[in-house]
Amino acid sequence: MDEIDYTAVWNEMCFHVKKNHDVSEANFQKTVEHLFGLIGWSQYKGEVVPKNALPVGSSSNVFPDITIKDNGRAILVVELKKPSIEVTRQNVTQLKSYMRLEKLDFGVLFGESLQLYYDSEEGDELTKVSDIPFVNDLDEGAELIKLLSKNGYIFEDLQKYCINILTAAKNFKKAQEYLELLCSEEGSQIVRDILEEKLSSIFPKEIISQIIDVVRISVSKKEDISTPSQSSISSRIDSNKRLSELADNQKLDKPEAIKLCTDNGINILNKKSTFASLNSNGKTYWANPNKNLLNDDWWILLSDHKRKNIHIFMVPASSISESQMKFRNNGLIEMDIMYDDKSFEDLKSKIKFSTWLLKTVSY
C-alpha cells in the first residue's frame, strides 16, 4: 500500500473549508463528513455518524454533529461551527458534554480552524491542545489529521501527542517567566550575586566589593521565545496579531523608562536612580540599590506593565537614613515595595514612598 501524503490531504481539506466558508450549517456538515472520508473514515460503514443520539436522563437525547466510530465504538466527537462564525465558549461546553456522555478523551471543534481538545480529568474544563488554521502546507495540520485518520489512529499515540504539546506549553510558560525574571532588576541582582561569587575565587575578597560597585550589570533579550508548536505556523501566516500581543505584555527597561520621563518633562539622572519592574508574582516591585543613593536626590521608577504606567518618585537627599533601611549581606539596600498599595510601602523598611511620589505617566 502506498504511503498517504497527509500534507496533500491537509491541503485538500483547506480547499474545501475555504470553498464552503459561508455555506449553511447543514451544507458545512456534509462538507466535514466528506473531509473525514478523505482520512479514511467511511459513512457507509457506520464510522462517520451524523447526529448520533445520546440519551440524557430517561426521556431525552442530545445529538453531536458527528461521531467517529471504530469497530462500532465511539472514539471521537466533533462539534461544527461554520468558518464564517467564530467559535464560542458555549461550543466548547457543548463538546465537553458530548465527550463526557460518551466517556471520551478526545474531541474536535471544526470551523475556521481545527481545534483538538483533551479531557485529562485534572479539572472541570477541557484542555485545548491544538488550534490549527486551515492554511496550506502546515506540518501541524498534516501531523494531526494523520493521528485522527483511520490508518493512523492509535489511542496511545494521540494521547502522547496531547501530553507532549501540553508539556511543551508549560515549559514555554516557565521559560517566559524565567526570562522576565532574568531581564528584571531582580535578575540583574542574581547575575551580580553570581559574578560576586565567581570573583571571590579570582580576586582578594577585600577588593571584590570595589569592583562590583563600579560594574553596571543588566540583562536584556536578544529576541522573544518562539512557541514550539507555533513556530512553523508563524512562518506562513500573518503574525501581526501575535506580535501585537507580545508587545502588549512587554516590560520597559530602565533606559526606556528614563526616556519616557524625559518625554514628559522630567529629567532623570541615570546614576542617581533606581528602576524596578513589577515582579512576575504580580505583588511587589523588588530592587537592590546602592546605599550611596540616600545621600543624593534619589529618583525611583516603578514600572507597572499590567496597567502600562510608570510611578516616578524623587526622594530628596538625606530624607532617609541608613538606619531606616534593610541591607543584604553584600551591603546593598533590600527593597520590596507593595503593588496596588496607595502608600507604596516597602515591606522591608516599612517606609511609605507615596510621600515622594512626583508623577505617574502612562506608556
Averaged pLDDT for residues 245-273: 74
Which of the four pLDDT bands, split at 50, 70 and 90, describes residue 262?
confident
> Residue 225 has what pLDDT?
63
Averaged pLDDT for residues 337-341: 93
Closest CA to 277 of 174, 189, 348: 189
How do 60-62 and 106-110 pair as beta strands? unpaired
Which of the four pLDDT bands, split at 50, 70 and 90, describes residue 345?
very high
The structure's pTM equals 0.56
Most confident of 88-92, 147-151, 246-250, 329-333: 147-151
The helix-helix angle for 139-148 and 6-19 (nearest 10°) equals: 100
Is 330 a residue whose pLDDT tops 80? no
> Residue 224 has what pLDDT?
66
Lowest-confidence segment of 13-17, 34-38, 116-120, 215-219 by average pLDDT:
215-219
Contact 251, 305 (CB under 8 A): yes
3-state secondary structure the chain: CCCCCHHHHHHHHHHHHHHCCCCCHHHHHHHHHHHHHHCCCCCCCCCEEECCCEEECCCEEECCCEEEEECCEEEEEEEECCCCCCCCHHHHHHHHHHHHHHCCCEEEEECCEEEEEECCCCCCCCEEEEEEECCCCCHHHHHHHHHHCCCCCCHHHHHHHHHHHHHHHHHHHHHHHHHHHHCCHHHHHHHHHHHHHHHCCCCCHHHHHHHHHCCCCCCCCCCCCCCHHHHHHHCCCCCHHHHHHHHHHCCCCHHHHHHHHHHCCCCCCHHHEEEEEECCCCCEEEECCCHHHHHCCEEEEEEECCCCEEEEEEECCCCCCHHHCCECCCCCECEEEECCCCCCEECCCCCEHHHHEEEEEEC
Is 243 a residue whose pLDDT tops 50? no
Please write the tens of the pLDDT for every residue from 143-161.
999 999 999 999 999 999 9
- The three three-digit cell numbers of residue 206, written as one number: 577585600
CA distances from 12 to 9, 18, 38, 135, 202 (A): 5, 10, 9, 10, 65
> Residue 182 has what pLDDT?
81
Residues 6+ apart with CB under 8 A from 52: 63, 64, 67, 74
> Residue 220 has what pLDDT?
78
Please write the tens of the pLDDT for every residue from 185-220.
777 788 888 888 888 777 787 788 777 777 778 777
